[in-house]
């Protein structure tokens, strides 16, 4: 779950709270030590991933995208601009 909850940090803390050194260190920074918060984080990551994938699908389905641009204009576009063709 976390390095601070491992056996290397399992010595009793110097204060008399009954916590280990690792738990005391996590709580001093305002972090949670229960396993339920790990599963809450995993659930949030899955939900956020699903949300952004769905929003990407919606954006790709209903977005207009880039309009068609051709590198070489066709004959109709040239006539509208008034450029004479080479054959005339």
**In this predicted structure, what is the pLDDT of residue 38?**
83
What is the chain's alpha carbon radius of gyration, rounded to the nearest angstrom? 31
pTM above threshold 0.75: no
Higher pLDDT, 74 or 1: 74
- Across the chain, mean pLDDT equals 83
Tell me the HSE value of 80 on the side-chain side, using a 13 A CA sphere.
5
- Identify the pLDDT of residue 50: 98
| Helix (H), strand (E), coil (C) string for the chain | CCHHHCHHHCCECCCCCCCEHHHHHHHHCCCCCCCHHHHHHHHHHHHHHHHHHHHHHHHHHHCCCCCCCCCCCCHHHHHHHCCCCCCC
Check whether 1 has a pLDDT greater than 90.
no
Please check the confidence at residue 59 and state whether its pLDDT lies above 80: yes
Q: pLDDT band for position 76 (50/70/90)?
A: confident
């Amino acid at each position: 779950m976390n390095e601070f909850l491992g056996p290397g940090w399992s010595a009793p803390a110097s204060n008399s709270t009954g916590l280990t050194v690792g738990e005391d260190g996590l709580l001093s920074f305002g972090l949670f030590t229960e396993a339920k918060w790990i599963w809450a984080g995993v659930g949030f990551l899955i939900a956020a991933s699903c949300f952004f994938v769905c929003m990407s699908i919606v954006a790709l389905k209903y977005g207009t995208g880039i309009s068609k641009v051709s590198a070489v204009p066709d004959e109709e576009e040239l006539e509208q601009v008034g450029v004479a063709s080479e054959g005339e």
